[in-house]
Amino acid sequence: MTTHYDMIAIGAGSGGLSAVERAAEYGKKCAVIEVKTIGGTCVNVGCVPKKVMWFAANTATQINSAKGFGFDVEQKSFSWKKLKEGRDNYIKGITNWYDGYLVDLGIDYIHGFGKLVNKNTVSVNGKEYTADHIVLSPGGEPAIPHIEGAQYGITSDGFFELEALPKKVAVIGGGYIGVELAGVLNALGSEVEIFGRADTLLRGFDSMIQEALDKDYKAHGITIHHGSQINKVTEDKTIFTNKGEFSGFDQIIWAVGRNPMTQHLGLQNAGVECNQKGFIPTDKFQVTNVDNIFALGDATGRAPLTPVAIAAGRRLSDRLYNGMTDRHLDYNNISTVVFSHPPIGTIGLT
């Protein structure tokens, strides 16, 4: 017998979880489907472990600056192994907490790959589930460039798997992910070089912020190669660019963007449209072109931020199940923070 729900979310990240949590609070029968680990990108390979690493790096910076404020301290040693073990245990505690939390809310957690069969049916591990409303929140994954030797680099996901602090690192990409990882590694003791295609870091941010960050990173010993096009990487981690070749790296980290994980969701089975990049367009109410199917978070290509996905998911369930007929998220003037060293925050028109 097929199990029927009021709402099913495909993807147990920030967006999907927030939608079913709020719906369950309104007494609705809900399920959430996840093929990887509950919590999605943010909890497992994004905001949460990144902030742990940022705090560690910030601590190192404070220790190094302490003498200037009259403190007689020095950094005697640093253990990447202990940092990683503590961080991983912290993440495990969060994911374990989620298991009990969903049970308390009466939400069914289905582990496996969810695929649309039609507009009301999802298949997981050979079993079908139906719902009045389906939320697509599969999240995204790091992009890897289509160049020779790309396999010799790691992504931001791979960064969190590193067992030791690399001595010399090439970070490919001058966006927020590349900037954040470069800042952490530099503060903890790695020699870091950033290769970016644009003429500045954080393209799209205010020019004053770009110039300040560029100056500060260089002052802290980070080498920045602006206007760099990566043509090839060899097994010894030599990087060939339009400006020459660069070698001696222990690690190469690809930070060249993220792609939506929508390619195997069976969108065509339900008639859900996506654009050429795989993102699922929605209206202001998160509705796709199919009236009972919604999309949240990174898969929509709009403001890929955890608080945004959470807010959108909650507003969606408010509208569907609590009579707030015009409840939706305003995507204008969303505040953004980049956990660089120093951190950057923006809001408004600039």
Task: Count the domains in the chain.
Answer: 2
CATH number, residue 85: 3.50.50.60
99 and 148 assigned to the same domain: no
Instruction: Evaluate whether 138 touches 261 at the Cβ level (below 8 Å).
Output: yes
| Strand locations in 40-145 (E) | 108-111, 114-118, 121-124, 127-136, 140-142
> Please, is 350 exposed, middle or buried when counting C-beta atoms within 10 Å of its C-beta (0-12, 13-18, 19+)?
exposed
32 and 158 assigned to the same domain: no
151 and 222 assigned to the same domain: yes
Query: What pLDDT does residue 166 have?
Result: 98
Report the distance separating Cα 261 and Cα 296, nearest Å: 12
226 and 157 assigned to the same domain: yes
Query: What pLDDT does residue 333 have?
Result: 86
155 and 48 assigned to the same domain: no
Instruction: Evaluate whether 296 touches 313 at the Cβ level (below 8 Å).
Output: yes
275 and 214 assigned to the same domain: no
Using CA atoms of 222, 225, 230, 232 in order, give the dihedral in degrees to the nearest 10: -60
Residue with tokens 């954080």: 202
205 and 301 assigned to the same domain: no
Query: Could you tell me the residue range of the domain that residue 197 belongs to?
Result: 143-257
Query: What pLDDT does residue 350 have?
Result: 63
The residues near 151 (Cβ < 8 Å, ≥ 6 apart) are none
Query: What pLDDT does residue 349 have?
Result: 75
List of the chain residues with pLDDT < 50 = none
The residues near 180 (Cβ < 8 Å, ≥ 6 apart) are 50, 54, 338, 339, 340
- Bridge-partner residues for 134, per DSSP? 8, 293
106 and 210 assigned to the same domain: no
In a domain, 297, yes or no: yes
In a domain, 344, yes or no: no
The residues near 48 (Cβ < 8 Å, ≥ 6 apart) are 39, 42, 90, 91, 94
Query: What pLDDT does residue 347 have?
Result: 87
Query: What pLDDT does residue 191 have?
Result: 99
In a domain, 153, yes or no: yes
98 and 151 assigned to the same domain: no
Ranges of H-type helices in 142-270: 156-159, 176-188, 207-219, 267-270
Which of 257, 286, 319 is where one domain is finished? 257
Within a 13 Å sphere around the CA of 124, how many CA atoms are in the beta-carbon half? 20
Q: Is the peptide bond before 342 cis (omega within 30 degrees of 0)?
A: yes
Which of 242, 257, 272 is where one domain is finished? 257
Query: What pLDDT does residue 275 have?
Result: 97
160 and 92 assigned to the same domain: no
100 and 112 assigned to the same domain: yes
Which of 223, 257, 291 is where one domain is finished? 257
Instruction: Please state whether beta strands 140-142 and 168-172 pair in parallel, antiparallel, or not at all (unpaired).
Output: unpaired
Residue with tokens 């290509």: 301
